[in-house]
Chains A and B, each alone.
Chain A
């Protein structure tokens, strides 16, 4: 069982805003077996080298969600990240607090905004007066209905996705991947009576700011795949409400745009998304671009076999989508 150890050099972000002028990195060195989690290393540092190093932790088994942080710039749970591969790839282990949240001290961040974005999506069942809960027994839920939740019930609200998200970084309006994955969980819950209202509301509260960059899905320690569920939310929102927001108008517009020729008509797209006024607003930029790239003003040729594409649209888009079980 005993594994040979490796030299693990930890460079850990240290900062107490109450007393320090600026953040610094402190180096700690331990001998650790390669499969040892980063958290185990940090706790040994606390016990043996420096009891002032500050972080959140509890379960050490990737279920409480406390120990999310940056490990060599990647948003990770410290308890679930072995030191070996990090040392192999980077020679050392640089530890920073999660991104996109203010630092309270060292690796502990203020989670207030994260929690408030979560509660903003109303994460609780809303009664459906048409389908009240049965009295004295559980609601019936088929395995297919349970399957629709996908992996969203695995979410432990650790914040790794929030830390990794460039949309969160760029725009305070964006709810973040976790809140949206939780919203998905309620939208597909057969016991919830507010499916439509939830989808309508989220369209004006930042759903379409998701960049579908999938950094959240890569960061998530529980395989929740938030970016995929956000994509599902977008599709469901379009099905319920059509094009009411720039985001949904752009998606629908793009879909309709390529139908007639099989490729993109760039000028037409702007009008479809932003309307005539939008086109006017974009005009100066469009004119600038068209000087170097006159193709913007061309309508594209039809692809060969466009009628095949047309048929696919008829079969899969014109017909109303099938209702989920």
Chain B
């Protein structure tokens, strides 16, 4: 399967471990990732707030790049998925399309609306299928309880996305189970991580992150896993701040989706970039019999 690989800004920079893990898993499951050095940032939802038409045009350009190559887009970030899908949805409005087409034509770009946007979670669980993943598992994650944390923009608004239930999804839990781990159900799994207001009102964002982590913990999770590097920033990079809001330690390892898959498929922690996390993943690794690597 060949896909246009759209890593997004964070995976290429401070979330580099996500890119490392994605490439490792892709090789294992037979995904050919075709890179495009002309992809731009998706706007992360912020550009949409400042100038919606610009955001749609920017992402139409991204979608057009893949369309020209005859490929669908693979994302590894819930937010990128949401923003690219938003653009596809917005372009159905004739007024928006007219403005965007007009601007795109000035840069010699045309987009006819064919590009589909698929997050790695969807590709693994639907296109490759959890059964094939299960068959590739060499180190079942037995004994590890994992709370999935989807990230809002992967699921909602359902009118723009709609690949699974906006409030009651289960693909990630199905995948966790296929990897041999035990998925933990808790309310926070479809809630927000707080990232969009991290720089607007940090304490509230931290409090929101704390709520979801505590919820996962209260339901028995040893670790959380997320398909969104922005959620990862909020839950992992800023977990120390969340702890301040919670009033106590949280000690919750946060995996990127492909890191969890990689562990089950035989990758080492270094190959997956686990030492880069702010919150040590040692406790989770210990549960699956993996020796921790000094940071």
A residues near B (Cβ < 8 Å) are 73-74, 89, 166-167, 169-171, 173, 208-215, 217-218, 225, 227-228, 231-232, 234-235, 238, 245-248, 250-252, 254-255, 258, 262-264, 266, 269-270, 273-274, 285, 288-289, 292-293, 295-296, 298, 300, 303-306, 308-309, 311-313, 315-317, 321
Q: Compute how far the CA of A314 lies from the CA of B204 in the bound complex, rounded to whole angstroms.
A: 36
Shortest distance from the beta carbon of B197 to any chain A beta carbon, whole Å: 6
Specify which chain B residues have a CB less than 8 angstroms from the CB of A303 in the assembled complex.
37-40
Total contacting residues, chain B, CB less than 8 A: 65
Does B135 count as interface, using CB distance less than 8 angstroms?
no
Specify which chain B residues have a CB less than 8 angstroms from the CB of A167 in the assembled complex.
192, 197, 204, 208
Given contacts A211-B152, A292-B278, A308-B107, contact A238 B49 (CB under 8 A): yes
Contact A171–B204 (Cβ < 8 Å): yes
Interface string of B136-171 (1 = CB under 8 A from A): 000000000000000010001110000000111000
Shortest distance from the beta carbon of A62 to any chain B beta carbon, whole Å: 18
Specify which chain A residues have a CB less than 8 angstroms from the CB of B16 in the assembled complex.
293, 295
- From B45, B57, B109, give the contact of A212 (CB < 8 A): B45
Given contacts A170-B208, A209-B200, A254-B47, contact A316 B54 (CB under 8 A): yes
Interface-centre pick from B38, B109, B277 (highest chain A CB count, 10 A): B38
Contact B168–A214 (Cβ < 8 Å): no
Considering only CB atoms, which chain A residue lies closest to B276 in the complex?
Answer: A292
Specify which chain A residues have a CB less than 8 angstroms from the CB of B13 in the assembled complex.
263-264, 266, 295-296, 298, 300
Q: Compute how far the CA of A112 lies from the CA of B171 in the bound complex, rounded to whole angstroms.
A: 39
Specify which chain A residues have a CB less than 8 angstroms from the CB of B14 in the assembled complex.
266, 289, 293, 295-296
Contact A251–B49 (Cβ < 8 Å): yes
Shortest distance from the beta carbon of B247 to any chain A beta carbon, whole Å: 15
Contact B40–A258 (Cβ < 8 Å): yes
Given contacts A246-B201, A293-B14, A308-B107, contact A231 B48 (CB under 8 A): yes
Does B52 count as interface, using CB distance less than 8 angstroms?
yes
Q: Compute how far the CA of A208 lies from the CA of B192 in the bound complex, rounded to whole angstroms.
A: 15
Contact B41–A264 (Cβ < 8 Å): yes
Given contacts A254-B44, A263-B41, contact A289 B237 (CB under 8 A): yes
Q: Compute how far the CA of A290 lies from the CA of B244 in the bound complex, rounded to whole angstroms.
A: 20
Does B43 count as interface, using CB distance less than 8 angstroms?
yes
Specify which chain A residues have a CB less than 8 angstroms from the CB of B192 in the assembled complex.
166-167, 211, 213, 215
Contact A300–B103 (Cβ < 8 Å): no
Interface-centre pick from A169, A214, A228, A315 (highest chain B CB count, 10 A): A214
Q: Compute how far the CA of A252 lies from the CA of B47 in the bound complex, rounded to whole angstroms.
A: 7
Specify which chain B residues have a CB less than 8 angstroms from the CB of A170 in the assembled complex.
194, 204, 207-208, 211
Specify which chain B residues have a CB less than 8 angstroms from the CB of A234 in the assembled complex.
49-50
Q: Compute how far the CA of A225 lies from the CA of B277 in the bound complex, rounded to whole angstroms.
A: 37
Specify which chain A residues have a CB less than 8 angstroms from the CB of B158 in the assembled complex.
218
Specify which chain A residues have a CB less than 8 angstroms from the CB of B238 in the assembled complex.
285
Q: Compute how far the CA of A223 lies from the CA of B246 in the bound complex, rounded to whole angstroms.
A: 35
10 CB < 8 A contacts A-B? A166-B192, A170-B211, A171-B201, A215-B152, A215-B192, A258-B40, A308-B107, A316-B51, A316-B54, A317-B54
Given contacts A166-B192, A231-B49, A303-B39, contact A247 B197 (CB under 8 A): yes
Contact B204–A74 (Cβ < 8 Å): no
Interface string of B106-122 (1 = CB under 8 A from A): 11110000000000000
Shortest distance from the beta carbon of A221 to any chain B beta carbon, whole Å: 13
Considering only CB atoms, which chain A residue lies closest to B48 in the complex?
Answer: A231
Considering only CB atoms, which chain A residue lies closest to B203 in the complex?
Answer: A171
Q: Compute how far the CA of A218 lies from the CA of B204 in the bound complex, rounded to whole angstroms.
A: 23
Q: A235-B51, A252-B50, A270-B199 are in contact. List 18 more A-B contacts (CB 8 A).
A: A167-B208, A169-B211, A171-B204, A215-B156, A217-B157, A218-B156, A218-B167, A231-B48, A232-B52, A234-B49, A246-B199, A251-B47, A254-B46, A263-B40, A292-B295, A303-B39, A308-B38, A312-B103
